[in-house]
Amino acid sequence: MERLVGRRWAARVAAALGIALALGRGLGIAEAVEASAAADETESSAGPAADRIEVDRVEPSSEKPKSLRFLSENRVFLRAQLDQLRQLARRGSATIADPLDPRFLKYRELLAEVRASADSQSAADDRIARRDLLASVAELAEIEAQVDSAEALLARQGERLSWLESDFAGRQETALVILVRGVPPCGAPEAILIREANGDDVRVALSDAARGALAAGGIAQALHAFVEPREHAYEVSLEGGACAARAPVTVTVEPERDRLTFLELDLSATGPEAAPVRAVAWVR
């Protein structure tokens, strides 16, 4: 073990010395500093909230880590184990109920309240319908009381709606919105194809209205979907007319967990030989 550690230290020192000597020869350091300054300048011009995304002509090749190896190699054994016990498990679980989600009970409660309020309101409506028959001041006062009651019912309905809103809005999940802007030199595409290895392929047809909006400098939404919070490499290509001949490009983006990430592709930033090359991402 000590020998191994010693070898690692020696390797690190040798590697560090090699890099340092190469840098120390002069130009390397100056270029690195200039490159760093240029990168800082680029970042600051992109704004504090948006990140420039790198776009590759070829999908970056990275070796995928092997996962669930035992399962893959012993799937027959594990299936046999499951099959052996499945019958017994089904018989045993038939009498066991899963606990109910308390929110479902709350929904039922809210629905009952809504129905009760509706009954109260319809009774009040009946009484209001007969108001022409009322002549005395005392009856008019009763109508006023009914209006007050309706207001109270409305207020309670408002409270219920606000509870529902906070229930749904409070559970934000990871989502990605892909926006496109600009028109490439090959003309507005008929559709945009977005595909990912190990993922679903998406074809977004651009309507005439959307293409008109792009030509006028507007933005069109290509995709809005829940996505896995991990690094995604999307292969983007254009379809229709002269654009179909363009090679696809790969845009890599890592949506932030439980947040809404926007990815904007600028189609106008297209050279004569290439597909879209400018992309920006930001998070809300």
Partner 1 sequence: MRSDKGEPVRGIGRSVFASVGLAAAIWLATTGRAAAESPSTTARAGLDAAAAAARAWAQDARLVYVENDEDAGGGGRAARWGYLYASTSRGAARGYTVRDGKVRDASDLGFDFDAPPVSDPWIDSDAALAAASREAGDAYCLENAGRLGTMLLIRGAFDLREPDATTWAVIYTAPSAPSLFVVVDARSGKVVRTWRG
Task: Point out which residues bind partner 1 (CB under 8 A).
Answer: 12-13, 15-17, 19-21, 23-25, 64-72, 75, 78-79, 81-82, 85-86, 88-89, 92-93, 173-175, 198, 226-230, 257-258
What is the rounded distance in angstroms from the CA atom of residue 254 to the CA atom of residue 60?
14
Smallest gap from Cβ 147 to partner 1, in A, equals 44
Smallest gap from Cβ 12 to partner 1, in A, equals 5
Smallest gap from Cβ 188 to partner 1, in A, equals 31
Q: Which is nearer to partner 1, 3 or 90 (CB)?
A: 90
Distances from the Cα of 175 to the Cα of 62, 79, 208, 227, angstroms: 24, 35, 27, 5
Q: Which is nearer to partner 1, 62 or 136 (CB)?
A: 62
What is the rounded distance in angstroms from the CA atom of residue 68 to the CA atom of residue 77?
14
The first and second tokens of residue 54, run together, are 């790198």
What is the rounded distance in angstroms from the CA atom of residue 140 to the CA atom of residue 180?
62
Q: Which is nearer to partner 1, 176 or 210 (CB)?
A: 176
- Count other Cβ atoms within 10 Å, centred on residue 211: 17
Q: Which is nearer to partner 1, 92 or 185 (CB)?
A: 92
Which residues, including other chains, have CB under 8 Å from residue 179's CB and lie 6 or more apart? 219, 220, 221, 222, 262, 263, 264, 265
Smallest gap from Cβ 265 to partner 1, in A, equals 21
Q: Which is nearer to partner 1, 259 or 278 (CB)?
A: 259
Smallest gap from Cβ 96 to partner 1, in A, equals 8
